[in-house]
Structure 1
Amino acid sequence: MSTQQGHPTLKAGAACLDITPPLGVAMAGYRRTRYAKGIHDPLCAKALVLDDGRRQIALVALDLICISKEHVDRARESIEERCGIPPEHVTCWATHIHTGPVTHEDMPAGDPDEEYMALLPRKIADSVEIAQGNLREARWGVGLGRQEGLSFNRRANRRGRPLPPGTNELLQLLKDGAVPQGPEVSLEEWEEKARAIDPEVGVLYFEGTDGSPIATLVNFALHCDTVGGELFSAGYPYYLSQVLKQAKGEDMIVLFANGP
């Protein structure tokens, strides 16, 4: 990782706020209805606020399958009112977990919980306000690594046609690690398609001038569909967060950004 002392006035602050819904709400991720029966690990809104002495920006990672522009816009309005950060300086994204609540009306898995969704923009703004309150002088570092052997390309072809998004049956890895073969898909075809991935891992790290951890932003292209079941879970990014906490300290807040 390449480290920088950063701009003399650079400040960074982070916060992690629990946004786990109540049990019993419909869970998103599959084309069937599931209702949450428990919590494997908490769902969170993780905010990072940066201040270079001239402007502030806010980044918010949400342990959700998706979030609508409407809800992001409402959160931005609240953030501007409470924190003074203009809407164009606020970015929110979902990590695209498959063990969280339904957040959109058009999902086949069920209907969103209206009370939860009404409260979500406020929770996002809460996380940013707390992160802003945690601003302190910071150093930063940037790194780029590679992680082979975890991801594969699920958009294989059958008879020359793309599989529709969400088709999982032929793409499940068997217990022995082999890739299943159907009558129209050879192992050679799977191996060829599996090469088209993005194995790069991007990392942006912030720490206080005393070396204490503030936040890490990690980018990797791997679908957050690794748990299943009827328990709320942030998926593998939760374990990534735990590993980095063990390495850098419990105060480390990890924002995960999914995709190339």
Structure 2
Amino acid sequence: MTRRSPVQALARLVGLAATLLLLGGPARAEGLRVGFGKADITPEVGDPNHPVFLAGFGQGRQATGVHDPLWSRAVVLDDGDRAVALVSVDLIGVQLELTQAVRARLERFDLVLVCSTHNHEGPDVIGLWGPGPTVSGVDTDYLKQVEDGIVSSVLAAEAALTPAEASYGTAEDETLLADSRPPVVKDGVLRVLRFAPPGGGAPIGLLVQWNCHPENLGSRNTLVTADFPFATVRALEQRHGCDVAYFTGAIGGLMSAPETRLQRPDGTSYREGEFDFAKAYGEAVADLADLALAGEEPIALTPIAVSRVEAALPLENPLYRLARVAGVLDRVGYRWTGDPFAPGASLGRRNILGPLAVLTEVSYLRLGALHVAAIPGELYPELVSGRFQDPADPAADFPDAPLEPDVLSLLPDGPSLILGLAADEVGYIIPRRQWDQAPPFTYGRDRPLYGEVNSVGPQTAPILMEALRLAVERAPGR
């Protein structure tokens, strides 16, 4: 365990005291209003001029139909002084430029966070899963459809704003997660917010955050689907008679649905690729959400404070650098200066020469007693809880690298939400001590573990955790 200094300990005690005061007070802080809205972002499938390439596995997986719709779901919170929009889309991961385009159309909001569920059965909106490794799978017309849908969902949520009280609950079940990369560490905590009219009544909506890859349908499926979150949202909407927004948390490492955890009525196990598997797993997540709601406590979500920190990540992944040249990754690069918080000049979209970086961002929201960390990628669970392997496997590339501060230690004490793939998707966020590309390989393997191939580079986790620390430190009203 990391030992804190007396100053750090005092600061956390002060934060805990403030949180307890907020939790112990009335759940309805003056001025709290909430609204839910959604918009259909399902692509048109079957137009030969606009093929839909599905994201998340290999190249060339072209959609042949639609099993269930994809949605942009928005939750707007307004305290009378500030308004924020939390949006979740059933996609592999939006890029920061799309989030910025949405924000430019919704300037009156103090923050719009566009998050992705990391759905592996929706269209390629990044570029990596086109007809071949050198051809982007992105349809720019579809990107515009997604942008319009996100804006529409936020406007619908804003139009639905109504006075509200909030409650917060958690439930934990690590058996609902499989971790395919050692060391096995999971964030098995489901976090949920319930909104209801002041004084009680039928709920207005639920916000659910869980930590699993939506990839139950696997690499052979060719039907567009939201995967298990579709079943989770549908089950909770039917049970509670209100809108539901599902958000993804820490899914790196690599979190997926275990095939042996759930049983068919005949006692056999579900298998990847079955829609019944996605349905059963989604409903099991809904059951866990109901367990969390059974222990919910009132929580004040005002006042609202927003803090956002831009960070440059050195682009060290050679495949990503080559993909820029081919236009597969169509993203502006910047000169890497060695300082993640002082990026160099823009280098355009194709340059790969010299030290190169991409810009991203980390956000911290203080919603009354609730602390929200918004991280732009697939966060390894170790970086949430601090349960690092220590000492690291000696075959790791950087076994003596300093341990990153974890999210829960950086946030003030109290209830939390961990929003992954928030505003951007920079790939896997791997603790530096676990980075493993050069031989000898960890755990006696004859090849590297999966993960690094879809990460910007080994400096990503330390930089993003430092950005979160700065965001918390700079939050208004601290």
Q: Which residue of 2 aligns with 1:164?
A: none
Displacement of 1:12 in angstroms is 0.3
Query: What letter corresponds to residue 226 of structure 1 in structure 2?
Result: N
1:5 and 2:32 equivalent? no
- What per-residue deviation string (whole Å, max 9, x for no partner) do you get for residues 199-250 of structure 1? 111111212335233222212211111123011111111111112112210x
CA contact (8 A) 2:41 2:145 kept: no
1:203 and 2:192 equivalent? yes
CA contact (8 A) 1:11 1:138 kept: yes
Match of 1:16 among 38, 41, 45: 38
Displacement of 1:63 in angstroms is 0.5
Question: Residues 258 and 237 of structure 1: is their aligned pair in 2 closer, same or farther, counting only changes over 3 Å?
Answer: farther
Match of 2:65 among 38, 62, 67: 38
Displacement of 1:108 in angstroms is 5.5
TM-score by length of 1: 0.77
Matches of residues 1-260 of structure 1 in structure 2 within 5 Å? 5-23=27-45, 24-80=51-107, 84-86=108-110, 89-107=111-129, 111-156=137-182, 193-194=183-184, 196-209=185-198, 210-228=200-218, 229-249=221-241, 251-259=242-250
Structure 1 alignment gaps of length 5 or more: 157-192
Once the two structures are overlaid, the 10-residue window that deviates more, 8-17 or 106-115, is 106-115
CA contact (8 A) 2:92 2:124 kept: yes
Query: What letter corresponds to residue 67 of structure 2 in structure 1?
Result: H
- Aligned partners of 2:234, 2:63: CA distance in 1, in Å? 23
Displacement of 1:19 in angstroms is 0.4
CA contact (8 A) 2:118 2:248 kept: no
CA contact (8 A) 2:130 2:138 kept: no
- Aligned partners of 1:205, 1:230: CA distance in 2, in Å? 35
- Aligned partners of 1:53, 1:217: CA distance in 2, in Å? 21
Displacement of 1:32 in angstroms is 2.9
CA contact (8 A) 1:15 1:253 kept: no
RMSD across aligned positions (CA): 1.9
How many residues align? The count is 216
Highest Rg: 1 or 2?
Answer: 2
Once the two structures are overlaid, the 10-residue window that deviates more, 114-123 or 125-134, is 114-123
Secondary structure in 1 matching 2:152:
helix
Query: What letter corresponds to residue 244 of structure 1 in structure 2?
Result: L
Secondary structure in 2 matching 1:26:
coil
- Aligned partners of 2:244, 2:165: CA distance in 1, in Å? 15
Secondary structure in 1 matching 2:57:
coil
- Aligned partners of 2:106, 2:31: CA distance in 1, in Å? 22
Higher relative contact order (CA 8 A, sep 6+): 1
Structure 2 alignment gaps of length 5 or more: 1-22, 46-50, 251-380, 382-478
CA contact (8 A) 2:75 2:245 kept: no
Percent of residue pairs identical = 32
- Aligned partners of 2:41, 2:230: CA distance in 1, in Å? 14
Displacement of 1:134 in angstroms is 0.2
- What per-residue deviation string (whole Å, max 9, x for no partner) do you get for residues 90-132 of structure 1? 1111100100000012446651112111232222111111100
Displacement of 1:8 in angstroms is 3.0
Secondary structure in 2 matching 1:115:
helix
Question: Residues 141 and 207 of structure 1: is their aligned pair in 2 closer, same or farther, counting only changes over 3 Å?
Answer: same
- What per-residue deviation string (whole Å, max 9, x for no partner) do you get for residues 45-103 of structure 1? 000001111111110001000100011000010111xxx214xx111111001000000
Displacement of 1:155 in angstroms is 1.5
Query: What letter corresponds to residue 65 of structure 1 in structure 2?
Result: I
- Aligned partners of 1:71, 1:79: CA distance in 2, in Å? 13
TM-score by length of 2: 0.43
- Aligned partners of 1:30, 1:139: CA distance in 2, in Å? 42
